[in-house]
Amino acid sequence: MIKIRKAEERYSNDHGWLKTNFSFSFADYYDPNNMQFGPLRVLNDDIIAPQKGFGSHPHREMEIVSIVLDGFLKHEDSTGTTATTTFGGVQRMSAGTGIIHSEVNPSLDEDVNLLQLWFLPEKEGLPPSYEKTSFDINKLKNNLLPVVSKNTTGNEIAKIHQDLTIYLSDLEEEKELSFEQLQGRRTYIFVIEGKLLLNEETQISKRDDARITETSKLKIKGLDKSRFMLIDLP
């Protein structure tokens, strides 16, 4: 089954320094029918103005992934970590028993656009930690490139404490990819740019998402030059 949620169905807010869209219930947006998809609890599409951001604040018992789409994001946290990320980089923060962090746009004149994803951890009580990884953006072309996963030992894939994998892809027009959904698992697709055709019948466009269950074979075709994220979830 493929359930589509259109971009315009997302909750939107403009705080001046922050323009944000929530794909799931978050902050002052609450919909009991849109709380999560498996362990995926939050997907926020944020645009942060220059020299602005989220000041120091705490988290517990959550796996938080930030993928910068455009611009730069500066991270600082209570473990002593300071890092700056742009497209081609991923940051994973395990809040665990407790962490304090800030996320700020360090640019003087450019916005930063990022996807912030929260996942429930596989188990609680983990020590807080942070990891920044980098991937080769050329490997995205007509390919599902894993950038976050539970099972990884390399420095191009961030390690997360949940049984999931996040893939990114740049799919050319008329090109196709296939994905096999194992029994009992879920697939989440978020279109960053462009337009896709799923299993030859379901179209999704920029910032739409697809929540897919009980679909063993998934064909993904580019109707335009497209960039998208696919998450394999329990």
175/155: higher pLDDT: 175
Q: What percent of the chain has pLDDT above 70?
A: 100
Nearest-angstrom CA–CA distance, 234 and 224? 30
pLDDT of residue 233: 98
The average pLDDT across 117-140 equals 97
From the list 207, 73, 52, the residue with the least C-alpha distance to 64 is 73
> Does the pLDDT of residue 195 top 90, yes or no?
yes
Q: What are phi and psi of 85, to 5 degrees?
A: -125, 145
CB-based burial label for 147 (10 Å; 0-12, 13-18, 19+): buried
CA dist list (Å): 182 to 150, 179, 189: 16, 10, 16
* Residue 88: exposure state from Cβ atoms within 10 A (0-12, 13-18, ≥19): middle
15 is in an annotated binding site: no
Q: Taking the model in full, what pTM does it have?
A: 0.97
Phi–psi pair at 198, nearest 5 degrees? -105, 125
| Domains recognised in the chain with CATH numbers | 7-233 (2.60.120.10)
Give 170's pLDDT tier (boundaries 50, 70, 90): very high
Nearest to 31 by CA among 9, 64, 58: 9
Q: How many CB atoms lie within 10 A of CB 43?
A: 23
Which pLDDT band, with edges at 50, 70 and 90, does 59 fall under? very high
* Amino acid of residue 230: L
| Percentage with pLDDT > 90 across the chain | 98
Structure tokens at 124: 């609680």
Q: With 80 as the cut, is the pLDDT of residue 154 above it? A: no
Map tokens 């923060």 to a residue: 93
> What's the rounded Cα separation, in Å, for the pair 117 and 206?
18
Q: What's the DSSP call for residue 182?
A: P
Residue 138 reports pLDDT greater than 90: yes
Residue 101 annotated in ligand binding: yes
Residue 137 phi, psi (nearest 5): -65, -20
Instruction: Tell me the two tokens of residue 88.
Output: 């081609």
Inter-residue contact 155 to 112 (CB < 8 Å): no
DSSP β-ladder status, 202-205 and 195-198: antiparallel
- How far from chain centre, in Å, is Cα 222? 20
pLDDT at 153 > cutoff 80:
no
**103 annotated to bind ligand:** yes
